């Protein structure tokens, strides 16, 4: 076999990494390269340096150290039995690539993951080595996200957290049944055990920083995880329930959803269909409802249809409002913040603006129109000084009025 | 109206700003004018290169000199924190009306200190819009500046970028690039002025042209490879990309030239992947006949193309025991029945020995077609690949759901993979049952053909193990029957 060039390796190992949804580079400790030897800064806000035609942002150099893997997870393009081209970077190569991209302002930092080679510990050592080279030899102060391997030694995961801004462990599938079926080499209790340990360390390190100014930081941007949607038969209610459990138990910053998309040389166990992108979008919307709008997981589950899935044609907030019409309309001039947040079509920004504006005037429909994205969408749920949707809220066809218009068929 | 004594009645004032982004200068003059009670409609603000004002009767320098001086007793000018925050950004906008707008809002703030909170007010909304578009422009500058490496006259590395901002944001963003690339020599060239950093000091220079920036960098080839590899063709969402990376930025980003080609190829790539693994959303067949028909027509793996027929399992429906082999052999393929060849005979022999009646069990294979290579006139068995076993796993699941065995006995590693979805070692897995999803239990042992390939002591040893595995299964079956 001929030696692969750096470019060939990059193509293989970036291609293999694209099924990881996370690319966030935000929410870490502020740092910059003034007074140091190297380069890099993080200033709170994440930066997306480019966007691919799939609409996803490219913020980090997202690659695998290697796509050789001793595991055989059916949904994964890099599983042992998959017939894809394999490649392997040395830690030094990854560090050099990261630096030369960073110097040209292509990226915010590195997101490094890996297939499991030899053993979990060996692989984790290699990942940590990349972070060590960047941080210690090159004084790199940009963002580093390391995927940690749940089966690896606790000491190695600790090392990873000291170098990285964020660490993550994927729970992969929403149900235990799905995990045993599709990822036969992985084990839920090991994954959750490692997440629990990481959480404890993050809390411990924060506490130490309060007392000692120079205590080392441990994963200042927290930990996150990813779930694959559509590879097993878990419904949205189950997925939302699982996600909220993860947020609560492990203090996760984010749970990412990744619609299972066709992969080259797929395993026969999985149905190959177009990825359920709309479903993924609805799940993210419900995630937002829980994180920013004060909905409880049971309330999101209330918005699901009979099969336990969120409706695809309307967003979960509207679905909830249509089911609980007795809570509407609400008076914009009197309602509490919590009530306003439940109005479909009012986002957190619009609600903040309404609350501020109504101190200065009694709001009319025209005023609300200036503060929101679309007045037609919110109108049926609001009372203003000059507007009261007497009939609208009770109409049986309200859903049809508010759902996005179906595309008209072409003449045949 | 005391200050009116210093202001000539009805006079119009023109303020000329030294640079388009000089917020501090505007602040100074605005404070002075408000202290003299000059209402917004009597001040014009002109930036360099601006057209001036129709009402201005004086030349620029004289207009500047005519600004009234406030009395010592004039009250202090006040502004909310929110206004200051927005105004600093809004002042950088390219809208020529911005300074007038800011002065108007500042004027109103004196009598109505909380007017910035009234988000339904037209002026307040305009200030917010200006702030927002300037912040967006700065953010896009942080994101889309692309440095190219050149070697300067001293032989040192120098990184140079060309960027075209919409607003007067260059100077305001010098700090960001300095903090990020503190130990690098870099220059950012723009049509609104340039920044140069040498590791210790920041230098500014006048507007540049695109031709002044270097034309390429070898690392761009790597970056483009990365860009096209990280893109997932199955999730094409061009609108989402354009919303965040509008076309106006494309001309200065090396990767953007790949976009049309990636979009054009995406659907074909995705369709290819779906077709390669085509397996429409079908339901598990619910009867033995349906399965038998299904496997005959199945072309999910290439084995089916060569063998004579698909070999269906046989035995009692509702049998407590299901025995799963690897795949039909030469004899089985001829006769269309499982386990009728030499391995089948050996299996029968051992089953009788431990007291399991084959007629009471359901016997089938993990793979339903015979895989072989020709050696002369003989068809020589070939092991199925993991992928082929996985493809056939679906049919085995259908059989299990119809037969509903309590105990499944896998003969050999291929059978175990067909049931577990992963490859296990026989030596490690044998002897202890493993739970399966549907509540039944799986016992694993060697395939009888393995015994056929051994002789002497090794065969005796393996035969004993095989027998004791079958014996354990029989004991378990008796136990189940008993309760």
pLDDT in tens, A179-199: 888 888 888 888 999 999 999
Give the pLDDT band of residue B7 (cuts 50, 70, 90). Answer: low
pLDDT at B65 over 60: no
Nearest chain B alpha carbon to A184: B422
Structure tokens at A330: 């609400």
| Whether B383 contacts B289, CB under 8 Å | no
Give the pLDDT band of residue B462 (cuts 50, 70, 90). Answer: very high
Long-range contacts of A333-339 (CB under 8 A, 24+ apart): A333/A358, A333/A362, A333/A363, A333/A383, A333/A384, A333/A385, A338/A294
B250 contact A CB<8A: no
Q: Measure CB to CB from residue A55 to each of B118, B241, B253 and give the nearest one.
A: B241
pLDDT in tens, B247-257: 999 989 999 98
B278: which chain A residues are within 8 Å (Cβ-Cβ)? 272
Q: Check residue A272 and give its pLDDT.
A: 62
ipTM score: 0.86
Question: How far apart are the two ends of chain B, measured CA to CA in Å?
Answer: 104
Q: Residue A404 in 3-state DSSP?
A: coil
Is the Cα dihedral A91, A95, A96, A97 positive or negative? Answer: positive
Alpha-carbon span A343 to B415, nearest angstrom: 56
Q: Check residue B1 and give its pLDDT.
A: 42
H, E, C per residue of B264-297: HHHHHHHHHHHHHCCCCCCCCCCCHHHHHHHHHH
pLDDT at A2 over 70: no
Q: Check residue A409 and give its pLDDT.
A: 54
Q: Measure CB to CB from residue A54 to each of B117, B229, B232 and give the nearest one.
A: B232
Altogether, the residues listed in chain B come to a count of 483
Residues whose CB falls within 8 Å of the CB of residue A17, separated by 6 or more in sequence, listed in order: A62, A63, A64, A111, A113, B230
Q: Check residue B416 and give its pLDDT.
A: 92
In order of B163, B196, B361, B461, the CA distances from B356 in angstroms are 81, 87, 8, 21
* Phi–psi pair at B204, nearest 5 degrees: -110, 150
B414: which chain A residues are within 8 Å (Cβ-Cβ)? none
The H or E element spanning position A226 is strand A223-229
Q: Measure CB to CB from residue B255 to each of A50, A261, A363 and give the nearest one.
A: A50
Inter-chain contact B421–A275, Cβ cutoff 8 Å? Answer: no
A54: which chain B residues are within 8 Å (Cβ-Cβ)? 231-233, 235-237, 241
Q: How many CA atoms lie within 13 A of B178 on its CB side?
A: 16
Q: For the purposes of burial, counting CB atoms within 10 Å of the CB of B48, is it exposed (0-12), middle (13-18) or buried (19 or more)?
A: exposed
- Beta strand A57-58 with A60-64: parallel, antiparallel or unpaired? unpaired
Higher pLDDT, B476 or B394: B476
Q: Which of A153, A39, A46, A58 is nearest to A107 (CA)?
A: A58
Bond before A329 cis per omega within 30 degrees: yes
B225 contact A CB<8A: yes
- Beta strand B202-205 with B194-197: parallel, antiparallel or unpaired? antiparallel
| Whether A275 contacts B235, CB under 8 Å | yes
Give the pLDDT band of residue B26 (cuts 50, 70, 90). Answer: very high
Work out the minimum CA distance from A62 to partner chain B, whole angstroms. Answer: 8
B150 contact A CB<8A: no
Q: Check residue A396 and give its pLDDT.
A: 65
Work out the minimum CA distance from A78 to partner chain B, whole angstroms. Answer: 14
| Whether A308 contacts B316, CB under 8 Å | no
Q: Check residue B3 and give its pLDDT.
A: 43
- The lowest-confidence range among A148-152, A162-166, B292-296 is B292-296
Give the pLDDT band of residue B2 (cuts 50, 70, 90). Answer: very low
Domains of chain B: 3-139 (no CATH), 145-212 (no CATH), 219-276 (no CATH), 288-482 (3.40.470.10)
Inter-chain contact A47–B139, Cβ cutoff 8 Å? Answer: yes
* Average pLDDT in chain B: 87
Q: Measure CB to CB from residue B234 to each of A32, A51, A275 and give the nearest one.
A: A275
Altogether, the residues listed in chain A come to a count of 412
Structure tokens at A78: 């890099």
Give the pLDDT band of residue A395 (cuts 50, 70, 90). Answer: low
Please compute Rg for chain A using Cα positions: 24
Q: Check residue B8 and give its pLDDT.
A: 57
- The lowest-confidence range among A101-105, A405-409, B264-268, B473-477 is A405-409
* Phi–psi pair at A365, nearest 5 degrees: -60, -40
Nearest chain B alpha carbon to A42: B180
Q: Check residue A228 and give its pLDDT.
A: 87
pLDDT in tens, B35-48: 988 999 989 999 88
- The lowest-confidence range among A254-258, B5-9, B101-105 is B5-9
pLDDT at B275 over 70: no
Q: For the purposes of burial, counting CB atoms within 10 Å of the CB of A306, is it exposed (0-12), middle (13-18) or buried (19 or more)?
A: exposed
Question: How far apart are the two ends of chain A, measured CA to CA in Å?
Answer: 54
Higher pLDDT, A6 or A233: A6
Higher pLDDT, B89 or B62: B89
Q: Which of A101, A392, A335 is nearest to B224 (CA)?
A: A101
pLDDT in tens, B176-199: 999 999 999 999 999 999 999 998
Work out the minimum CA distance from A390 to partner chain B, whole angstroms. Answer: 25
| Whether A231 contacts A173, CB under 8 Å | yes
**Secondary structure of chain A: what % helix, strand, coil (to 5)?**
40, 10, 50
Q: For the purposes of burial, counting CB atoms within 10 Å of the CB of B43, is it exposed (0-12), middle (13-18) or buried (19 or more)?
A: buried
Q: Check residue A412 and give its pLDDT.
A: 55
pLDDT at A25 over 50: yes
| Whether A370 contacts A361, CB under 8 Å | no
pLDDT in tens, A170-183: 888 888 888 888 88
Nearest chain B alpha carbon to A57: B241
Work out the minimum CA distance from B450 to partner chain A, whole angstroms. Answer: 24
Inter-chain contact B385–A81, Cβ cutoff 8 Å? Answer: yes
The DSSP string of A187-203 is -HHHHHHHHHHHHHHHH
Inter-chain contact A371–B120, Cβ cutoff 8 Å? Answer: yes
Structure tokens at B265: 């190829």
- The lowest-confidence range among A145-149, A280-284, B221-225 is A280-284
pLDDT at B280 over 50: no
* Average pLDDT in chain A: 87
pLDDT at A6 over 70: yes
pLDDT at B317 over 80: yes
Higher pLDDT, B243 or A20: B243
Domains of chain A: 6-275 (3.20.20.70), 277-312 (no CATH), 324-402 (1.10.150)
Q: Check residue B57 and give its pLDDT.
A: 46
pLDDT in tens, A268-302: 666 666 667 788 889 999 999 998 998 998 899 88
Structure tokens at B384: 């199925």
| Whether A269 contacts B393, CB under 8 Å | yes
The residue-averaged pLDDT of B190-210 equals 93
Inter-chain contact B184–A39, Cβ cutoff 8 Å? Answer: yes
Inter-chain contact B120–A55, Cβ cutoff 8 Å? Answer: no
| Whether B372 contacts B330, CB under 8 Å | yes
């Amino acid at each position: 076999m001929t030696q692969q060039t750096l470019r060939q390796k990059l193509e293989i190992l970036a291609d293999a990494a694209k099924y990881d949804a996370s690319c966030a580079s935000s929410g870490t400790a502020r740092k910059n390269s003034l007074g140091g030897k190297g380069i890099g800064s993080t200033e709170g806000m994440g930066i997306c340096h480019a966007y691919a035609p799939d609409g996803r942002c490219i913020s980090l150099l997202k690659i695998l150290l290697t796509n050789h893997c001793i595991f055989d997870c059916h949904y994964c393009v890099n599983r042992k039995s998959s017939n894809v081209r394999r490649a392997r970077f040395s830690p030094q190569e990854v560090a050099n690539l990261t630096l030369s991209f960073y110097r040209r302002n292509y990226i915010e930092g590195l997101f490094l993951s890996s297939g499991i080679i030899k053993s979990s510990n060996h692989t984790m050592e290699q990942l940590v080595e990349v972070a060590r080279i960047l941080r210690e030899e090159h004084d790199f102060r940009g963002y580093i996200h390391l995927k940690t391997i749940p089966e690896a030694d606790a000491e190695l995961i600790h090392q990873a957290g000291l170098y990285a801004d964020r660490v993550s462990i994927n729970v992969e599938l929403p149900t235990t049944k799905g995990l045993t079926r599709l990822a036969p080499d992985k084990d839920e209790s090991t994954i959750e055990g490692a997440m629990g340990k990481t959480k404890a360390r993050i809390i411990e390190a924060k506490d130490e920083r309060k007392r000692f100014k120079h205590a080392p930081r441990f994963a200042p941007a927290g930990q996150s995880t990813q779930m694959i949607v559509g590879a097993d038969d878990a419904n949205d209610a189950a997925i939302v329930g699982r996600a909220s459990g993860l947020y609560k138990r492990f203090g996760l910053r984010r749970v990412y959803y990744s619609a299972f998309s066709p992969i080259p040389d797929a395993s026969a166990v999985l149905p190959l269909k177009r990825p359920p992108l709309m479903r993924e979008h609805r799940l993210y919307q419900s995630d937002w409802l829980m994180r920013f709008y004060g909905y409880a997981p049971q309330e999101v589950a209330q918005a699901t249809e009979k099969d336990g899935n969120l409706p695809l044609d309307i967003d979960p907030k509207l679905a909830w409002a249509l089911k609980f019409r007795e809570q509407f309309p609400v008076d914009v001039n009197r309602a509490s913040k919590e009530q306003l947040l439940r109005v479909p079509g009012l986002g957190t920004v619009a609600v903040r603006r309404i609350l501020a504006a109504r101190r200065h005037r009694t709001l009319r429909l025209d005023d609300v129109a200036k503060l929101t994205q679309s007045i037609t969408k919110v109108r049926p749920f609001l009372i203003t000084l000059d507007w009261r949707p007497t009939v609208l809220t009770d109409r049986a066809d309200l859903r049809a009025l508010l759902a996005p218009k179906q595309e008209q068929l072409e003449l045949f | 109206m005391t200050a009116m004594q210093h202001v000539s009645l009805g006079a119009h004032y023109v303020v000329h700003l030294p640079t388009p982004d000089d917020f501090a200068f505007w602040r100074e003059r605005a404070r002075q004018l408000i202290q003299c009670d000059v209402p917004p409609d009597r001040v014009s603000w002109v930036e360099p290169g601006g057209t001036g004002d129709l009402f201005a009767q004086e030349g620029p320098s004289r207009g500047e000199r005519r600004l009234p001086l406030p009395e010592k007793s004039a009250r202090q000018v006040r502004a909310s924190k929110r206004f200051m925050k927005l105004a600093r950004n809004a002042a950088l906008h390219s809208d020529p009306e911005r300074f007038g707008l800011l002065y108007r809002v500042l004027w109103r703030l004196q009598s109505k200190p909380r007017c910035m909170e009234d988000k339904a007010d037209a002026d307040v909304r305009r200030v917010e819009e200006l702030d927002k578009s300037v912040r967006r422009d700065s953010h896009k500058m942080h994101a889309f500046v692309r440095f190219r490496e050149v070697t300067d006259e001293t032989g040192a590395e120098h990184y140079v970028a060309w960027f075209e901002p919409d607003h007067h944001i260059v100077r305001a963003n010098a700090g960001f690039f300095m903090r990020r690339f503190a130990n690098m020599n870099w220059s950012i060239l723009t049509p609104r002025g340039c920044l140069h950093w040498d590791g210790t000091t920041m230098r500014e220079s006048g507007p540049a042209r695109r031709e002044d920036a270097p034309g390429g960098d070898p690392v761009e080839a790597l970056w483009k490879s990365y860009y096209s590899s990280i893109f997932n063709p199955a999730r094409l969402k061009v609108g989402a990309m354009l919303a965040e990376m509008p076309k106006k930025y494309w001309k200065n980003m090396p990767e953007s030239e790949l976009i049309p080609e990636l979009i054009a190829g995406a659907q074909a790539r995705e369709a290819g992947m779906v077709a390669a693994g085509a397996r429409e959303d079908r339901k598990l067949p619910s009867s033995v006949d349906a399965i038998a028909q299904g496997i005959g027509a199945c072309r999910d793996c290439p084995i089916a193309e060569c063998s004579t027929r698909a070999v269906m399992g046989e035995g009692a429906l509702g049998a407590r025991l299901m025995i799963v082999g690897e795949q039909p052999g030469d004899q089985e393929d001829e006769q269309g029945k499982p386990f009728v060849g030499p391995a089948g005979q050996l299996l029968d022999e051992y089953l009788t020995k431990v007291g399991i009646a084959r007629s009471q069990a359901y016997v089938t294979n993990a793979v339903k077609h015979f895989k072989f290579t020709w050696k002369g006139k003989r068809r020589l068995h070939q092991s199925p690949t993991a992928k082929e076993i996985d493809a056939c796993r679906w049919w085995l699941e259908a059989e299990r759901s119809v037969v509903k065995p309590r105990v499944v006995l896998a003969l050999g590693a291929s059978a175990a993979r067909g049931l577990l979805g992963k490859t296990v070692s026989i030596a490690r897995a044998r002897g202890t049952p493993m739970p399966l999803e549907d509540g039944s239990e799986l016992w694993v042992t060697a395939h009888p053909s393995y015994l056929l390939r051994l002789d002497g002591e090794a065969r005796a040893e393996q035969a004993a193990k095989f027998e004791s595995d079958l014996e354990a299964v029989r004991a378990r079956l008796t136990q189940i029957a008993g309760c």
